[in-house]
């Protein structure tokens, strides 16, 4: 995996302040807890953003191990305190979005561009999952996002300012998911997950102690 190319493209102005983690099925939860736990220590980050982000972040990590046909993935994170912007990127060098979706016979003939458009819609899956992770991430991007990208093969799906577009891009064998978030904007985390699970309670119980929970109320 060409990490230097990803860092140059997505984190060029802040490469000294990024954090890089490699994860597999044995340490995925440890990486997830460490990344979100560090963000939790920043009191200027809106709790509702973390509640929603923590759910989507784990889903994206899990997508690598479930759909890429690879055993390892990489996550790069950066928090811009001055501008209240969180950026994270999850990458693999697996089979890519189109080949993954094509494992479901319903999508066997889709193009790469259409596969990228479809992958952020609800209940679109290769059959190994529920097709909810990237969809909920798209809802998070709608409510708090600056930039949301899904890159695979020779194309990139970009969602910015509520506008979705597909463009040709330099070949990436596998999948890259990149998200930039406002961290000082209050949102409704239940809407990010379409009210299907209680992400607020899940986050609070995992990352906040009793005193911090009392302060929320």
pLDDT digits (tens, 9 = 90+) for 153-185: 999 999 998 899 999 999 999 999 999 999 999
Is the pLDDT at 138 greater than 50? The verdict is yes
Spatial neighbors of 186 by CB under 8 A, at least 6 apart, are 46, 48, 49
Question: What pLDDT is stored for residue 210 in this prediction?
Answer: 57
CATH architecture, domain defined by 22-206: 2-Layer Sandwich (3.30)
Question: What pLDDT is stored for residue 211 in this prediction?
Answer: 55
Question: What pLDDT is stored for residue 123 in this prediction?
Answer: 87
For 135-160, b/e burial (b = at least 16 CB within 10 A) is bbbbbbbebbbebbbbbbbebbbbbe
Q: In which band, very low, low, confident or very high, does the pLDDT at 217 lie, cut at 50, 70 and 90?
A: very low
CB of 152 within 8 A of CB of 133?
Answer: no
Q: Please state the domain extents for the chain.
A: 22-206
Q: What is the pLDDT of residues 64-75, one digit of tens each?
A: 999 999 999 999
- Per-residue pLDDT, averaged over 47-57, amounts to 97
Q: Please, what sign has the CA dihedral across residues 46, 51, 52, 56? A: positive
Is the pLDDT at 216 greater than 80? The verdict is no
């Amino acid at each position: 995996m060409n990490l230097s190319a990803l860092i140059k493209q997505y984190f060029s102005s802040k490469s000294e302040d990024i954090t890089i983690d490699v994860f597999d099925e044995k340490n995925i939860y440890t990486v997830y807890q460490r990344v979100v736990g560090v963000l939790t220590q920043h009191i200027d980050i809106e709790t509702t953003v973390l509640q929603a982000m923590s759910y989507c972040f784990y889903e994206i990590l899990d997508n690598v191990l479930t759909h890429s046909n690879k055993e390892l993935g990489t996550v790069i994170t950066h928090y811009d305190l001055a501008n209240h912007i969180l950026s994270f990127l999850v990458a693999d060098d697996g089979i890519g979005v189109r080949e993954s979706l094509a494992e479901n016979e319903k999508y066997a003939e889709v193009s790469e561009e259409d596969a990228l458009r479809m992958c952020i819609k609800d209940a679109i899956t290769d059959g190994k999952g529920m097709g909810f992770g990237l969809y909920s991430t798209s809802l998070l991007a709608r409510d708090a996002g600056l930039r949301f990208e899904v890159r695979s093969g020779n194309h990139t799906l970009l969602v910015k300012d509520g506008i979705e577009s597909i463009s040709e891009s330099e070949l990436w064998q596998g999948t890259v998911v990149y998200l930039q978030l406002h961290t000082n904007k209050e949102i409704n985390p239940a809407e990010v997950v379409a009210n299907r699970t209680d992400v607020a309670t899940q986050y609070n119980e995992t990352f906040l102690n009793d005193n911090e929970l009392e302060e929320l109320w």
